Structure 1
Amino acid sequence: MVSIIVILLGTYWILKKRLPNAVGGRFAKVISRVYLDRNTSLVLVRILKEYYVILISQNQATVVKKLDTIEEGEIDSEIGSNFETILQRFVGGKK
């Protein structure tokens, strides 16, 4: 019985170390989210080193815009800011 538990824990540890964290973590990170209504939100996401504004509704997700001009430090320095300020700076619109 103890050997089965050791094998299961060892397998879990090996898989956790070897398999990429596909749900988030290293590859994707939600920087900020703004809810437009109860079921719809705009999300600023970093996937690898690229940034996207994604409109997420109850049944679909649509890439609104890929942000090409963002430097790595620009977003990190503005994380304390609200999403609207960041979105206006990089996408445009009313100021």
Structure 2
Amino acid sequence: MGEIGELFWQVFLAFAFLVAFLGVVYFFVRRRNPFASSKNIRVIERCYLDRNSSIVLVRLIDSYYVLLITPGGGTVLKELSESEIGHLEEAEKFSSIFFKKLGKNEKKDGS
């Protein structure tokens, strides 16, 4: 019985070290992710053409670009002018659409 108990504790300890190691890796990846959200770059809309390529509308500081993203890289298709930009980011929030469909008033952020 002593060998089985010792083997159990070795397996348990190895599993605990593995979980701790994965937790540390997860923490550092989340902290140092270079693709984390930025206040200067924002993806406004994405439309998939097929599983490997998509057209993306991106805001970069105060300019808007239409990009073609493929496995081989990205290509700027067009920079949008002020008249074309219009109300791109004034889209209705999901919560307001959801509550309209339910027939209820939208919940306010403060309540």
* Shorter-chain TM-score tier: 0.5 to 0.7
Rounded Cα–Cα distance in structure 1 between residues aligned with 2:58 and 2:88: 11
Q: From the CA coordinates, give the structure whose radius of gyration is larger.
A: 2
Residue identity opposite 1:33 in structure 2: R
- The CA RMSD measured in Å over matched residues stands at 2.3
Rounded Cα–Cα distance in structure 2 between residues aligned with 1:46 and 1:76: 10
TM superposition score normalised by structure 1 = 0.53
Q: Which has the higher strand share?
A: 1
Matched, 1:30 2:49: no
What runs of 5+ residues in structure 2 fail to find an aligned partner? Answer: 1-30, 94-111
Number of aligned positions between the proteins: 59
If asked which structure has higher relative contact order (CA below 8 Å, sep 6+), I would say 1
CA change 1:36–1:63 in 2 (3 A) is same
Which of 35, 55, 76 aligns to 1:42? It is: 55
TM superposition score normalised by structure 2 = 0.46
Rounded Cα–Cα distance in structure 2 between residues aligned with 1:61 and 1:45: 12
Structure 1 stretches (4+) deviating beyond 3 angstroms? 21-24
CA change 1:61–1:44 in 2 (3 A) is same
Rounded Cα–Cα distance in structure 2 between residues aligned with 1:65 and 1:79: 25
